[in-house]
Structure 1
Amino acid sequence: MLSVVATILQSAGFELCTVNISGAKNSTPQFKDRKIILNENLANSMLGLNLSPAKIVSTLKKCRLEATAKNKNIVCTVPRYRFDIFGTMDLVEEVALGYGIENLTPNLSPPQTLGQKNHEFETLNSLSHTMVGLGYMEALNSSLTSKRILYDLTNRDSSNMMSVMDSKSQEHTILRDFILAGLINNLSSNIHEPYPQKMFETGTVFSKGNPVNEEIHLACVNAHNDANFSEIKSIMQSTLKTGFNIECNTKTSSHPTFAEGSTAEII
């Protein structure tokens, strides 16, 4: 760094002198240039180009580096203030900059295996399209949430709560086991937006096990003045019929999050 500062001062008009250190065989600051040899084949293979040694020399000079070609090798003189250049790969980068990054044409590597879409992904994608077609907007909440959102606001038992260690945020400390809690929180955060509000989410929920169990769940919410059970039941039946060709019915149930008589179970 001393040589960098000294070079800046020299360009500002200062006269520089080296000082011999007492009892040592060196002096400071060091202004001696370094020489690094770059092979033509290395530069071309790394950049996917076919540059001649003369062209490589030209690109290096555009980056204010002196260079000369000797057969297939390029001898590059690196000034002392270029402390960011350590070896040949740094010179390859300088060649790319001098050639012009915008002039490089990216080439994809040939595939080594045959790929296909994951069946689970295709199912979830089809399910998302169905919900969007029914007028719902997709939400994307984190799998990590807080005890307040997941248990306190939903009136649920937290005895099976799964916490993560060393979380960086108090709002992301618990692995969710109930995907609907995030959507309810979305509604509470958007009461100033116009109604109706229709949202859905597909995502992973977790339950205790060894290892931890993971399942994909779907939940949706529908908030407006005339929302009722018949409406949300028809949405559920349409989704299951369209996405999975499943016929289903419901029966009265109970859930701590909802008022008594406001819950149904799918059968």
Structure 2
Amino acid sequence: MPAITLKVDRVSRFVGAQLSPNQIADLAAALGMSVEEVGEAEVKVEYNPNRPDFGSQVSVARAFKGLLEIELGARRYSARPSSVVVEVERSVESVRPYIACALVRSLILGEEDIADLIALQEDLHWILGRDRRKIAIGLHDYAKVRPPFTYRAVGLSEIRFIPLGYYQEMTPQQILAEHPTGRKYAWILQGKDLAPIILDSRGNVLSFPPIINSSLTELRPETRELFIDVTGTDEKTVNQALNILVTTLIDLGGVAYKTLIRYKGKRRQIYTPNLSTTKWLLDPSLASSLIGLELSTRDIVKALRRMRLDAKASRGGVIVSVPPYRVDILHPVDLVEEVAIGIGYENLEPVLPETAGIGALLPASKILDVLRRFMLGMGFTEVVNTTLSNTERDFNWMLINREPGVKILNPVSIMYDCLRELLLPGILSNLAANSKNPYPQRLFELGDVIVRNDTLPERAGRETHLAFVICHSTASFSELKAVLEEVLRLFELENNLTAKDYPFFIPGRGAAVVREGVEVGFIGEIHPSVLENFGLYMPVVGCELNLSLLSVT
């Protein structure tokens, strides 16, 4: 979990009241943080990744003020108009297509403020950005550059600038190969022959996202105007990260200004940041039933306002206004949780269940545990991936020419727009993420997939699959076939393979696993085009079994 050190004097100043270390620890615990260490001058806590706005001390203090009833409800945030424009060229569409920016003026940043901002930036990279792959943030001294700005992709050796922490000019290619930060994040641009670059009107480089900023725009205590860029592969997440940063800077005394983002190829333009609130309607009966208390509308409104949300009673329930930095509110149940925290968990009386029982594993779970231990004993490492997946990886990269059987109607992110039907694509992604680790690599996953089944009322069914892969320079069909035979022997099943071509296997190097005339799995050598799509440069052999059809579960 991400961690933050709360300085007693600093947090007290932001709150507007002198707090003791123990008071800060109690307030942090009330907000769901894990208190790790309480000292005389600071309190170290870990916070849940679903609250990325807790990555700065001023934002934590904002929440404290609500619990202490120093300030109730949501603070109003706004961004003024400005003449700053960012031109987005079509060349970035295949590399890193989205950008959102803001200008914040009238700042007086001390060294602690800058350290706080950089810590928040890195936490956002991890929490929202998937280690900069999904989003990356640049913070710049606006006084050193001149708009309008251009966001374009250039050849890896086409441009030169001095990267942060260096004193000589380098090309993007040299940065990826030689600079410590470049080497650390080079995997994000692996297989790309273009580098995304942000330039000002004089041709100065601001940033090479998601790798590194230029030394030209490095933040210093004398910085009074700050320009923020957030680039990424998911537009919603890009804007969420920008909103968290901008509201934090406003809380630090800054004045925010909008930036016009003009997409040349799409004939589209938007202003960022958008600091408007989001409206929700909460049914009081839902809050009462889930929390276990008879709550009046007034109780609910008061609790939500203590959590720095605006709330007012209406005929249909409670209208809740969620501020732009609260990216964790996705469902009315999330608002119920806010009500519970606002009331205080210490004020909720625990109730024993009416019935008592002793928990035990289902027989099928016991069998799966035996299989899991067996695979570990065969030298495989277990991985666990999410059931939510995306069409691009699971189908396009796997050369499967059809739509997913179960798609998400209104996906929050393009990273999760369908439910997985196979485990194999996820394991190939795991191999790609571990491409710099020693070989051979032997991975397996035991988990559920969701397949289309129109005979069921919900038109989808769950199956339990086992998938395993071997990756090294001489990985072969026969090597993995030996493992498959041992797996089948574990359950006293015969090994019956029938030659069959699959789009993700090399032609002639794949086979179906058949039991009593029914196909229950497949095995083969992964097609080179699939390996290239995943950024893999070693041969891979893979197998996947439907354990539900094997009567194992």
Alignment partner of 2:365: what SS?
helix
The correspondence for 1:229, drawn from 477, 487, 506, is 477
Tell me, yes or no, if structure 1 residue 197 matches structure 2 residue 441.
Answer: yes
Gaps of 5+ in 2: 1-15, 19-305, 307-342, 515-553
Mapped to 2, the partners of 1:93 and 1:159 lie a distance apart of 49
| 1:169 equivalent in structure 2 | 413
Gaps of 5+ in 1: 1-7, 12-83, 85-89, 95-107
Identify the structure with the greater strand proportion.
2
Aligned length: 171
Which amino acid in structure 2 is aligned with residue 165 of structure 1?
A: L
Q: Give matches, 1:14-93, under 5 Å.
A: 93=346
Mapped to 1, the partners of 2:461 and 2:509 lie a distance apart of 29
| 2:357 equivalent in structure 1 | 113
Which amino acid in structure 2 is aligned with residue 155 of structure 1?
A: L
Measure how far apart 1:111 and its partner are: 6.8
Task: Describe the superposition over 1:69-104 as per-residue Cα deviations: whole angstroms up to 9, x where unpaired.
Answer: xxxxxxxxxxxxxxx9xxxxx9x959xxxxxxxxxx
Mapped to 2, the partners of 1:149 and 1:143 lie a distance apart of 13
Measure how far apart 1:195 and its partner are: 0.6
| 1:135 equivalent in structure 2 | 379
Measure how far apart 1:160 and its partner are: 4.2
Task: Describe the superposition over 1:214-254 as per-residue Cα deviations: whole angstroms up to 9, x where unpaired.
Answer: 10011001001121111101101111212x12121312111
Alignment partner of 2:434: what SS?
coil
Measure how far apart 1:137 and its partner are: 0.3
The correspondence for 1:208, drawn from 431, 441, 452, is 452
% identical equivalent positions: 28
Which amino acid in structure 1 is aligned with residue 493 of structure 2?
A: I
| 1:156 equivalent in structure 2 | 400
Decide whether the 8 Å contact of 2:446 with 2:464 is kept in 1: yes
The alpha-carbon distance between structure 1 residues 163 and 112, as it changes in their structure 2 partners (threshold 3 A), is same
Which amino acid in structure 2 is aligned with residue 238 of structure 1?
A: E
Root-mean-square deviation (CA), in Å? Answer: 3.1
Mapped to 1, the partners of 2:362 and 2:461 lie a distance apart of 20
Q: Name whichever of 199-208 and 131-140 sits farther off.
A: 199-208
Alignment partner of 2:447: what SS?
strand
Mapped to 1, the partners of 2:480 and 2:487 lie a distance apart of 11
The alpha-carbon distance between structure 1 residues 159 and 172, as it changes in their structure 2 partners (threshold 3 A), is closer
| 1:122 equivalent in structure 2 | 366
Larger Rg: 1
| 1:220 equivalent in structure 2 | 468
Alignment partner of 1:262: what SS?
strand
Task: Describe the superposition over 1:136-187 as per-residue Cα deviations: whole angstroms up to 9, x where unpaired.
Answer: 0001010111111100110002234321133322211111111111111211
Mapped to 2, the partners of 1:200 and 1:111 lie a distance apart of 39
Stretches (4+) displaced over 4 A: 108-111
The alpha-carbon distance between structure 1 residues 131 and 111, as it changes in their structure 2 partners (threshold 3 A), is farther
